[in-house]
Amino acid sequence: MAAAQDHQPRTEAQKHRIVVIGTGFAGIGMAVRLKQAGYHDFVVLERADDVGGTWRDNTYPGCRCDVPSHLYSFSFAPNPDWSSTFSPQPEIEAYLRKVTDGFRVRPHIRFGHAVESAHWQGDHWLIHTNQGDFTADLLLSGMGPLAEPSYPKLAGIESFEGDVFHSAQWNHDLDMSGRKVAVIGTGASAIQFVPAIQPDVEELHLFQRTPPWVMPRPDRKISGVEKAIYRRFPLVQKAVRAGIYWGRESLVLGFAKLPAIMKQGQKIAERHLQQQIRDPELRTKLTPEFTLGCKRVLISDDYYPAVAQPNVEVVTDPILEVTPTGIVTEDGVKHEVDTIIYGTGFRVTDLPVMDMLHGRDGRTLREVWAHGMEAHLGTAIAGFPNFFLLIGPNTGLGHSSMVFMIESQIAYILDAIRTMDANGLREVEVRPEVQREFVDGVRSSMRNTVWTRGGCTSWYLDAEGRNTTLWPSFTFRFRQLTRHFDRSQYLTR
């Protein structure tokens, strides 16, 4: 009985045609395009007090994008003022605030509204938030996969007497000077904040399970002359963006079409490691045993020099337990530390939205996805009418900008809404057989990629070893597939 009551509004629900969840690139881009298309009866629910998504939350020292700046922005809102070719976190967060205000979508945002659950009620969505209820004809999720920190299970962690935090929830009140720090994880975040804090700490114990491949970062400052040209001649910046885009697309050949090509790129990474790490023993610890690209390819010019410093220890023995004053590894060594920083990434294949969302038959998305995440075009899910997911399954990239994928999905969703309006449709739900055909095609394309044949275990893979996160082809192919909403692929009412 209690479960049935949960489906009822707890307050007088606010009614809107469309509800969007999240204010990262996906949510803000969706809001802008909705408004430009003449749809004004929508709200964007955001749990925090400002926009930005992962670029608002990840403020750790050294945080920056590993996709070129000119490509990591909306096509409809170029930014001529990037300071460097790979933009730092504060600039990306500021860019999203500027887009939000410049396109006047802030009045549509409800800050401090954390979505607790959403239920399909037969002809509309009922959304419960911590600030009240909303109803919507269409529910659009912009909750990206890099939103909820992932924590490893460490025996004894509750007994630790020092400071503990995740890189996505950085403790800026903590002075790192003179600290004995344990960093757990060597992924994309760690290789950025380790060089930033290494000069300040007394000791840095870097607990590495699997070393990553690290490529040189071709970063440079963008001159004032370049910025002036981009402002005066926007087509020049557009051309630069196009050049970067097509250069990045060529990388798909190595990742997904001809994995043997990755061996050539791996030679660059090997040379980068040899040039920056002179100690043979340390170099061996930092050398991966898998093919470049199997895990996320990282770029940095300061990570290797940082871990080679005398106050840094790279620990490869597995963690046995945490004590009140340190970490004990399986070789019996106790590493005395007063601070533990998790650089352990996010819940990518275990999204919180899976528990919050209840579809046509009341089942949660977690129940529907019990054997792996799947969606048609990474956007529509059978059993969930009038619901579209941005940055859904198999839309992630290993080579280019997620903003391109997001804009492709936004265009598809807008065409779906226009199709509904033009044909008097109240409800659209992707046909199960259409979704099955798409997912089977993706899995077939994934078989010979470096992500599945490169000899590693990564966060790209789910518990059953399937790559449910990445798109196994060119991004222009994804844009072709999402260019038009095909009504025949959907059950309609």
Cβ atoms of 86 and 217 within 8 Å: the answer is: yes
SS (H, E, C) 146-162: CCCECCCCCCCHHHCCC
Q: Is 200 helix (H, G, I), strand (E, B) or coil?
A: coil
Give the pLDDT confidence score for residue 300 in this predicted structure. Answer: 97
Rounded Cα distance, 207 and 315, in Å: 5
Residue closest to 252 by CA, chosen among 485, 1, 449, 32: 449
Q: What is the pLDDT of residues 205-243, one digit of tens each?
A: 999 999 999 999 999 999 999 999 999 999 999 999 999
Cβ atoms of 368 and 432 within 8 Å: the answer is: no
Bridge partners of 387?
139
Q: What is the pLDDT of residues 88-124, one digit of tens each?
A: 999 999 999 999 999 999 999 999 999 999 999 999 9
**Percent residues over pLDDT 90 in the chain:** 86
Rounded Cα distance, 58 and 87, in Å: 14
Q: Is 450 left (phi over 0), alpha (psi -120 to 50) or beta?
A: alpha
- Token pair listed for 41: 């009866």
DSSP 103: T
pTM here is 0.94
Q: Is 290 helix (H, G, I), strand (E, B) or coil?
A: coil
At 466, is the pLDDT very low, low, confident or very high (cuts 50, 70, 90)? confident
Mean pLDDT along residues 8-12: 67
At 11, is the pLDDT very low, low, confident or very high (cuts 50, 70, 90)? low
Q: Is 163 helix (H, G, I), strand (E, B) or coil?
A: strand
Burial class (CB in 10 A: 0-12, 13-18, 19+), 159: exposed
Mean pLDDT along residues 351-371: 91
Mean pLDDT along residues 373-402: 96
Bridge partners of 18?
42, 138
Q: How far is CA 470 from CA 186, 343, 387, 462, in A?
A: 21, 21, 21, 11
State yes or no: pLDDT of 9 exceeds 70: no
Residue closest to 373 by CA, chosen among 456, 463, 294, 454: 463
Q: What is the DSSP string of 363-383?
A: -BHHHHTTT----BTTTB-TT
Q: What is the pLDDT of residues 292-332, one digit of tens each?
A: 999 999 999 999 999 999 999 999 999 999 999 999 999 99
Write the CB contacts of 292 (distance below 8 Å, at least 6 apart in sequence): 213, 262, 263, 265, 266, 269, 450, 454
At 162, is the pLDDT very low, low, confident or very high (cuts 50, 70, 90)? very high
Cβ atoms of 409 and 402 within 8 Å: the answer is: no
Cα Dmax for the chain: 69
Mean pLDDT along residues 23-34: 98
Cβ atoms of 16 and 41 within 8 Å: the answer is: yes
Strand duo 298-299 + 326-329: pairing: unpaired
Residue in this structure with the two tokens 């789910």, named with its chain if needed: 462
State yes or no: pLDDT of 249 exceeds 80: yes
Rounded Cα distance, 482 and 404, in Å: 12
Amino acid (one-letter) located at 275:
Q
Average pLDDT, the chain: 94
Mean pLDDT along residues 240-247: 96
- Token pair listed for 151: 């924590």
State yes or no: pLDDT of 8 exceeds 80: no
State yes or no: pLDDT of 159 exceeds 70: yes
DSSP 43: E
Residue closest to 95 by CA, chosen among 117, 114, 120, 69: 69
Rounded Cα distance, 263 and 268, in Å: 9
Q: How far is CA 402 from CA 91, 334, 377, 398, 437, in A?
A: 17, 41, 14, 9, 24
